[in-house]
Amino acid sequence: MVLSKVGIVAFMILFNVDSVFNNVMSSHIDKMKSEWDSDVFLDSFGLLTKYGYAPERISVTTEDGYVIDTFHIPRSGPPVLLVHGITDSSDEWLVLGPNRSLAYQLADAGLDVWLYNSRGNRYSREHRDNIPKKEYWNFTYEEMGTQDLPAVIDHILNVTSQEKLSYIGFSQGTTIFFVMCSMKPDYNTKIEVSILLAPVAWIAHLKLPTIGIVSRNLELLSSITEALGLYELYPFKISNVIKSLSCLRLYPTNVCYIDFYINYGLVHSDYLSPDKIAVIGSHIPAGTSNLNFQHFIQNYSSKRFQRFDYGSKKNLKVYSSKQPPLYNVELVTAPVSIIASEIDWYSTNDDVQKLKSKLPNIKRFIALNSSLEFSHLEFVYGTRVQKIVNERVINILLDDLNMR
């Protein structure tokens, strides 16, 4: 118990060590630039431009004033919105390049592609009213689902003069879809097709090895971060690049893979596109709020898919009930196609089965056999992503949108 608290404090201090490291190392960046895959240094706009996709960067302001940046690859076909996972960004759909990343391939298939960035990540950092930090970072995935997505979807439908769009979400990108469709059920009618990769709603069976310690110490953890004014978790930093480069150097005895084994349940290093590992590493993490992380962990302890838990006293004030209300996924009437892997640590079989039993409109349910050893991050960063994920996604879209 004491040890784990010491560990958490040490962890918090590392945040600052990391920023010193960051400042020292950034002066060496230019020197290193010429030596490596230049994709390491490119953001979504840079990657799309390099590969000839002429993107636009478009900002949309939500009702509560957050400025959400999307990247748009204009095409004449129907619109499709791609929604990334936690502490990630639109880069997720791009970093493996046109041969393996979905965004380019959907544009090649003629779809009008939009890439979302959640509030607080490396791209969506502004607020209309320039509110103080403490107020700015006061959000979880609930606001992404009830504010960000509706604003972005309305903008897309408006500029494309369409009534519906298609939605592709990965991990947290599925959580916020469930939040939107259950809390703002009108939006179900704006979804033509949805494809949900590694869906996350209930996480009672999460297999992360550190989850026990973290969830038992959640209150302590939140009071420390609060006291230190650390409202942002795992921000995108230039030191991501340095870390990822050091990774490549040590290949094949690669320490950077340890993170992927311990935190994501990766089975073989070869499964995580080894030729692009430095590019992947330099683009994640991309930042979120501490509160968002807390919200996910609360639901682990409670075994409920529910709104943020402020403690019974404040819950009474905010929700008029001691327990936070549940997200009612039975209201998610939009058609969904799900691809889930049986060995996923985050989107576990037990939790996905529960979700499956409650969703009213599942068009397809594709379970990736455990013998494939297909782990969470492989849905977007995997060596085998083309056959196992991308081809299926594109086929579903072409079928359901009658584009053949």
Ligand X SMILES: *[C@@H]1O[C@H](CO)[C@@H](O)[C@H](O)[C@H]1NC(C)=O
Virtual torsion, Cα 147, 149, 155, 158, nearest 10 deg? -110
Structure tokens belonging to residue 383 = 């060596």
Q: Are 258 and 60 in contact (CB under 8 A)?
A: no
Closer residue to ligand X, CB minimum distance, 243 or 378? 378
Say which of 89, 171, 337, 347 is annotated catalytic: 171
Contact between 97 and ligand X by CB under 6 A: the answer reads: yes
Residue from 302, 328, 333, 386 touching ligand X (CB under 6 A): that is 302
Does residue 307 touch ligand X according to CB under 6 A?
A: no
Report in angstroms how near the CB of residue 209 gets to ligand X at its nearest: 19
- Between residues 114 and 236, which has the closer beta carbon with respect to ligand X? 114
Q: Residue 114's beta-bridge partner residues?
A: 72, 81
Residues 6+ apart with CB under 8 A from 176: 83, 118, 141, 144, 145, 148, 149, 169
Q: Which of residues 364-393 bind ligand X (CB under 6 A)?
A: 369-371
The reply on whether position 65 binds ligand X by CB under 6 A is: no
Count CB neighbours of 168 within 10 A.
25
Active site residue 376: yes
Question: Smallest distance, Å, CB 369 to ligand X?
Answer: 4
Interface segment toward ligand X; rule CB under 6 A; list 85-93, 94-102, 259-267, 376-384:
94-102
**Residue of 323, 328, 349, 386 that binds ligand X (CB under 6 A):** 323
Residue 146 DSSP class: I
Pairing mode, if any, of strands 288-289 and 336-341? Answer: unpaired
Binding mask 215-234 for ligand X (x = CB under 6 A): ---x----------------
Given a contact cutoff of 8 angstroms between Cβ atoms, the answer to whether 201 and 329 are in contact is: yes
Closer to ligand X at the Cβ: 304 or 384?
304
Query: Does 347 participate in catalysis according to the annotation?
Result: no
Residues 147-166: x where in contact with ligand X by CB under 6 A, - otherwise, as a string: -------xx--x--------
CB of 341 to ligand X, least distance (A): 12
Cα–Cα distance measured from residue 51 to residue 105, given in angstroms and rounded to the nearest whole number: 12
Whether 190 and 163 have beta carbons less than 8 Å apart is answered as yes
The rounded distance, in Å, linking the Cα atoms of 377 and 92 is 10
Cβ contact 269:70 at 8 Å:
no
Per CB under 6 A, 99 contacts ligand X = yes
Summarize as ranges the residues that interact with ligand X (CB under 6 A): 97-99, 134-135, 138, 154-155, 158, 218, 298, 301-302, 304, 309, 318, 323, 369-371
**Which residues belong to the active site?**
171, 376
